[in-house]
């Protein structure tokens, strides 16, 4: 019995070492997978990081400062007239409710990251950028016409108009071409119903913007022609070949 105790102790120590090594390998593999995924969609994750920082700023700000920041970074009629380029650019890096950040983070990983990895960073960025600008300008023009015809209050010139939803709508539209038939048609029908239903029900200027953005995404199909089921290699995230 005296000889069995050291043997049992040694066996237990070896078992622990094996588990530790396996755990270590698992951690390294998980880290490498995350790093590879992030590197394969750099634009998405840089954008998400900036939104995380601005959300922390809003969360930490006083009520007065929060109101100022939300209005100052909006791409509403007032700001577009005073600072057109600045408001168009900055408005896409803020969300109104910091508590929504995790929700948007999930959508970024499901939509933006997949589209960027498949289409390439520059194609994805062009689609999202054009959609954000077009949706903002057209929706605010619709709002301006409504104000001039007394269908909306003049205070709407200063409405808070920030967020990332136009870019998400565009990416969702472009994602249509990534989905193989016949599932593509089901996705397309779902997109049309999701974005068109609010318009039919008498939607807001934001609903107009979403419809414009998803239309731009669908219209950018020629940019990704021939790339169906093809992903950009993780080692070359900026490749457009």
Per-residue pLDDT of 123-137, as tens digits, reads 999 999 999 999 999
**Residue 200 pLDDT more than 90?**
no
181: number of Cβ within 10 Å: 8
10: number of Cβ within 10 Å: 10
pTM for this prediction: 0.80
The C-alpha atoms of residue 165 and residue 98 are separated, in whole angstroms, by 14
**Radius of gyration of the chain from its Cα atoms, rounded to whole angstroms:** 24
Which of residues 69 and 16 earns the better pLDDT score? Answer: 69
Residue tagged 């390439």 (tokens):
120
Domain ranges of the chain: 1-40, 41-224
pLDDT, tens digit, 9 for 90 and up, residues 101-113: 999 999 999 999 9
**Residue 90 pLDDT more than 80?**
yes
Domain 41-224 grouped into CATH 1.10.287: no
Per residue, the 3-state secondary structure of 153-201, as one string, reads: CHHHHHCCCCCCHHHHHHHHHHHHHHCCCCHHHHHHHHHHHHHHHHHHC
- Residue percentage of the chain with pLDDT more than 70: 80
The C-alpha atoms of residue 24 and residue 181 are separated, in whole angstroms, by 42
Residue tagged 């969360």 (tokens):
59
Buried b (16+ CB within 10 A) or exposed e, 17-55: eeeeeeeeeeeeeeeeeeeeebebbebbbebbeebbebb
Which of residues 18 and 73 earns the better pLDDT score? Answer: 73
Which of residues 37 and 28 earns the better pLDDT score? Answer: 37
**Residue 236 pLDDT more than 50?**
no
């Amino acid at each position: 019995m005296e000889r069995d105790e050291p043997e049992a102790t040694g066996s237990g120590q070896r078992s622990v070492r094996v588990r530790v090594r396996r755990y270590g390998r698992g951690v390294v593999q998980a880290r490498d997978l995350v790093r590879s995924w992030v590197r394969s969609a750099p634009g998405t994750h840089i954008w998400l990081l900036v939104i995380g920082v601005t959300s922390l700023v809003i969360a930490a700000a006083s009520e007065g400062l929060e109101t100022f920041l939300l209005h100052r970074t909006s791409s509403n009629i007032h700001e577009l007239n005073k600072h057109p380029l600045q408001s168009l650019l900055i408005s896409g890096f803020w969300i109104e409710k910091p508590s929504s950040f995790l929700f948007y983070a999930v959508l970024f990983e499901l939509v933006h990251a997949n589209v960027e990895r498949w289409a390439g960073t520059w194609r994805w960025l062009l689609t999202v950028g054009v959609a954000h600008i077009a949706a903002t300008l057209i929706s605010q023009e619709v709002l301006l016409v409504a104000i001039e015809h007394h269908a909306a209050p003049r205070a709407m010139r200063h409405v808070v108009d920030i967020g990332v939803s136009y870019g998400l709508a565009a990416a969702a539209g472009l994602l249509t071409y990534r989905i193989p038939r016949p599932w593509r048609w089901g996705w397309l029908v779902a997109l049309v119903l999701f974005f068109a239903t609010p318009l039919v029900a008498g939607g807001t200027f934001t609903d107009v913007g979403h419809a414009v953005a998803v239309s731009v995404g669908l219209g950018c199909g020629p940019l990704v022609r021939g790339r169906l089921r093809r992903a950009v290699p993780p080692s070359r995230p900026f490749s457009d070949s």
